[in-house]
Amino acid sequence: MLIGILALQGAFLEHESMLDRLGTPYFEIRNLKDLRPMDGLILPGGESTTMGKLLRDEGLFEPLRELIVNGLPVFGTCAGLILLAKKIDNDSRTHFATMDVDVVRNAYGRQLGSFRIEAPMDGVGTIPMVFIRAPYVAKTNGSSRILATVDGHIVAVRQGNQLGTAFHPELAPDLSVHRLFIDIINEHQG
Ligand code: GLN
């Protein structure tokens, strides 16, 4: 198994250390030359507008979108989830737009800009969740499924091979969300 990690900006190193702990091989994607066959793709947290721009500047946008549309398992955390969303309620621009969810960027306001809690997630158990200027999902559409809510807001979703969390599992010691992603890849490969 080999996982590609988008490494244009943001918290990609933290995902790498999770995969190191799981013994799962990965490579970084910064430009077109880095692209090679992969079994799954991680879109890290960071700043979605910047990542969206760099993806387009580097010519990575179309090839990666095509892979996702064709079923490549993808895991987006925070800004990564925003990149996947078909609708961003407070931004006129969307990015990959492959997941049937409406998200709200920076949804928790100033007071709650960043926080950590423990909450249950479907199929995973109760886990630490670190939120940093996080989005939440205002609405799931189509076949997207809610996996976790916090204070009535949707914070984890899955649609087929696409997994998204508004929080950063890679900033807490618990490996279970990354394990779930690896299970999705294994299921996909049958
Ligand atoms: N606020 C960022 C955005 O809107 C996301 C924050 C994060 O990824 N930690 O893109």
Per-domain boundaries in the chain: 3-189
- Is 58 a catalytic site residue? no
Q: Average pLDDT, whole number, for the chain?
A: 96
- The finding on whether 182 has its CB within 6 A of some atom of ligand 1 is no
pLDDT tens digits for range 68-94? 999 999 999 999 999 999 999 999 999
Model pLDDT, residue 4: 98
What ligand 1 atom has the least distance to the C-alpha of 77? 8
Tokens encoding 6: 């988008």
DSSP per residue, 87-151: EETT-S--SS--EEEEEETTTTTTTTSEEEEEEEETTTEEEEEEEES--EEEEE-TT-EEEEEET
Fold of 3-189: Rossmann fold (3.40.50)
- The finding on whether 106 has its CB within 6 A of some atom of ligand 1 is yes
Q: If you ran DSSP here, which 8-state letter would residue 64 be given?
A: H
- The finding on whether 164 has its CB within 6 A of some atom of ligand 1 is no
pLDDT tier, 190 (very low <50, low <70, confident <90, very high otherwise): confident
- Residues 114 and 131: beta-carbon distance below 8 Å: yes
Tokens encoding 60: 């990575």
- Is 170 a catalytic site residue? yes
What CA–CA distance (Å, rounded) separates 143 from 92?
A: 23
What ligand 1 atom has the least distance to the C-alpha of 82? 10
CA of 166 to the centre of ligand 1 (A): 9
The angle formed by the CA atoms of residues 81, 84 and 88, to the nearest 5 degrees, is 80
Q: pTM, whole model, 2 decimals?
A: 0.97
- The finding on whether 104 has its CB within 6 A of some atom of ligand 1 is no
Model pLDDT, residue 130: 96
What CA–CA distance (Å, rounded) separates 132 from 129?
A: 10
pLDDT tens digits for range 111-155? 667 899 999 999 999 999 999 999 999 999 999 999 999 999 999
CA of 78 to the centre of ligand 1 (A): 6
Give me the catalytic one of 78, 118, 153, 178.
Answer: 78
What CA–CA distance (Å, rounded) separates 86 from 101?
A: 6
pLDDT higher than 70, residue 110 = no
76: three-class secondary structure by DSSP: strand
> What percent of the chain is predicted at pLDDT more than 70?
98
